[in-house]
Structure 1
Amino acid sequence: MADEAHGEVVEPQEGLDPETRARREAALKHVRKYGDPVLRSRALEITHFDEKLREEVRRMGRLMHDSYGIGLAATQVGVMHRLLVYRTELEGSIAALVNPVLEWASKDKETSEEGCLSLPGVGVDVERPIHVRVTALDEYGKPILVEASGLEARVIQHEMDHLDGVLILDRTSRDQRKQAMRALREQLEATAA
């Protein structure tokens, strides 16, 4: 997924300068990886809208930006909050959704490759509704209504799945899941060597 972002991560071009590469690697160390039980847990509703929550949003936004992600759920950084941050352009503004609820999804669906910061090196085809309507709160507790299509809808659905302990591996074909598991094993063996 080098040029187009359909999931949670945009793979950066090979020629990253050393400082940017180091920042990305440092950010990715904070992201929980496949096998961590928190990724299979349902996050809890947020009831306190204070400076601590707003700092959590800022921290997640920085981690997402530095790791070249386009979405990040709180569970991916080990926090059991129903909170996600996302953006649809690499240098775009970061949106935060607290306690998001899918109100409506179109019958029209599209299959596209998705990646995930918690599943490094894995890309699988996932079918999702093209249009969604989501209600949520912002980090100050104010109601938000998001009507999203295309990439924005896909990213929101991907991150909302994380809040329910669902991974892209759960939404793909058996063959792709087997290939992804093989790739994850190979990567673990390579990093352990």
Structure 2
Amino acid sequence: MNIVFYPDPVLRSKAKPLTEINREVCRKAEEMMELMHQAQGVGLAAPQVGWSVRLFIIDVEGTRCDEKVFINPVIIEDDGELNKEEGCLSFPGITSRIIRAQRIRAEAYTLKGQKVEIEAEGLAARAWQHELDHLNGDLFIDKMSPSNRLAISHQLKEFERLYKGARVSV
């Protein structure tokens, strides 16, 4: 399992709901957790590893536990606004200030199939929004201001040049 880079088409696809939690799903979630920590990330969505399902991992504290895996997540409420620097494991070396809600309330399922309600703010809320965007085929570059997008245009063109239709990964 590897992290895929922009412009891999899986990053632009809307992920399908996960209908069954089995050993394979648990194994992949564990691999994703390890990969995310190796890459020093705080979140990783299944499409970022070429798996187009509605699952992501968020671990802002670095605790590596199953409770950080969220299946079929939905944000049901958001509040406030925060403009902070953000990056993405599928865009190595690129960061930009992105406006996101400061607080969120969300629902998801755990690896044990239990429905949970999450309240998050700050970095955790930002990570939730970022990873949920991945499940919808939206990328953080879509939320950049026009001037910030222009400033990284040469880096995006380089990613596109390197892609050539083959999966590019770390």
Correspondence for 1:92: 63
Runs of 4+ in 1 over 6 A off after TM superposition: 187-190
Aligned residue among 86, 103, 106 for 1:131? 103
3-state SS of paired residue (2:152): helix
| Identity across the alignment (%) | 36
Deviates more, 1:47-56 or 1:177-186: 177-186
Greater relative contact order (CA < 8 Å, ≥ 6 in sequence): 2
1:117 aligns with 2:89: yes
1 CA distance for matches of 2:152 and 2:90? 12
Correspondence for 2:41: 69
After TM superposition, give the deviation of residue 184 of structure 1 in Å: 3.4
2 CA distance for matches of 1:65 and 1:42? 25
Aligned residue among 141, 154, 162 for 1:169? 141
How is 1:1-193 mapped onto 2 (pairs within 5 angstroms)? Answer: 30-89=2-61, 91-94=62-65, 95-106=68-79, 108-186=80-158
TM-score, normalization: structure 2? 0.89
Query: Given that residues 122 and 184 in structure 1 are in contact (C-alpha distance below 8 angstroms), is that contact kept between their aligned partners in structure 2?
Result: no
List per-residue Cα deviations over 1:21-57 (Å, max 9, x = no partner). Answer: xxxxxx8xx1111111000000000011111111111
List per-residue Cα deviations over 1:123-157 (Å, max 9, x = no partner). Answer: 01110110000100001211011100100000011
Query: Given that residues 120 and 184 in structure 1 are in contact (C-alpha distance below 8 angstroms), is that contact kept between their aligned partners in structure 2?
Result: no
List per-residue Cα deviations over 1:78-123 (Å, max 9, x = no partner). Answer: 001100001113x3234010000011001x1010010001011100
Any stretches of 5+ residues in structure 2 without a counterpart?
163-170
Any stretches of 5+ residues in structure 1 without a counterpart?
1-26
